[in-house]
Structure 1
Amino acid sequence: MIETAKTEAPARPDGLQPVERSYQQVIRVRTLLAWLPVVIGAVVLDRLVLAHTPVGGLLLVAAPLLALLTAVTAPPRIWGRLGYALEPAMLRVVRGWLFHIDTLVPLVRVQHLDVARGPLDKMFGTATLAIHTAGTHNSIVSLPGLSPARAAELAAAIRTHIKADLD
C-alpha cells in the first residue's frame, strides 16, 4: 500500500481513510443553500395562500426547522460514509449508505488529474481530487473533502504510478 501522511486520521475499520473533518462544514453550508429556495417558497406560500386558514404560520416554522434539522444531522452521516484507499494499482472511493457507491479506479486508466477548490473549500480548508479516466461512462471520479496538501500528495502518487507505467 502507498504510504499515507503521518498527520492523517487513522484508517477506519473498513480499511478506508476518512476525509477531512472540516468537510462536514462544506456539506452543511451546501445543505443550507439547497434548502434556501424551499424555505423561501414555503414562506411565500404561507403568506399568500395559507395566511387566513387554520394552518397559517405552520410553514413559517416547519420549513426552516426541517432545513435546520437536515443541516445538523446529515453532514456527519455523509462525512462518515465517505472514504478512500490508494493501493499500488488502484484507487478506491466509497460513499453513501442508502445509495452505496464503491468506485474502483485502476491507475493505468487515469488520463489526467485535477485538484479543485471552490469558495467553500477555500473557506474550510478542503479540496477535491478529480480523476479523469479513459472511457466515456463515469469517466470522472471525484474525491471531495481532502486537505489541499493530501489532494496534491495523492495526485503526485498517482502521477508517479502513471509515469512508471509509461516507462
Structure 2
Amino acid sequence: MRNSYRLILTNIFFLAIGLTLYYFTKNIEILGAIIATGISLSIGLRNSQAENDRIFKELFQEFNSKYQSKFNKELQKIVNTEISTEQEELIIDYLNFCAEEYLWYTKGRIPIKVWESWKNGMIYYLNSASINRIIQNEFKKKNSYYGLFEILEKELKITK
C-alpha cells in the first residue's frame, strides 16, 4: 500500500506540473510530454519495486533453505557441548553464511525486520559457550566477514 501512495503522488505531481505549464503556455504538447514522463516514471518505480521484491524473495528463500538444511539441527546439537574439528568447520561456514546475509542487508536487499530477526538468532548461537570460543579466534580476522563483527560486536561476548 505504501508504494501505491508513491505512485499516486508521482502522477499527481507530474499532472500538476503539466497543468500549470499548460495554463501558462497553452501548449498541449508540453502537457502531454509531462504527463507521459510522469506515467513513465511511475511504471519505472513500480517495476523497480517489483524487481526488489523478487530479489528479496529469492534471497530469503535461499538463506532460509540453506539454514534449515545445513545449520539449524547441527547448531542446536553443539550449543554448549565440546566441539569437534568437523563442527568447528561448520561454525566457520555459519559465520560466512551470516556475513553473506549481512552483506545483502547492507546492500538494502534484506528488510530491517528480517535482518533483526536473523541477527538475534546469530547472537544466540555465537554467544553460546562452545561456539563463542571459536568466535574469539575469528574475531581477530573480522575484516574477513564484510563488517559482520563490527555490527555484532556490542552484543557478542568477545574478550579483546
TM-score range normalised by the length of the shorter chain: 0.3 to 0.5
TM (norm. structure 2) is 0.39
TM (norm. structure 1) is 0.38
Larger radius of gyration: 2
- Which fold has the larger relative contact order, with Cα–Cα distance below 8 Å and residues 6 or more apart in sequence? 1
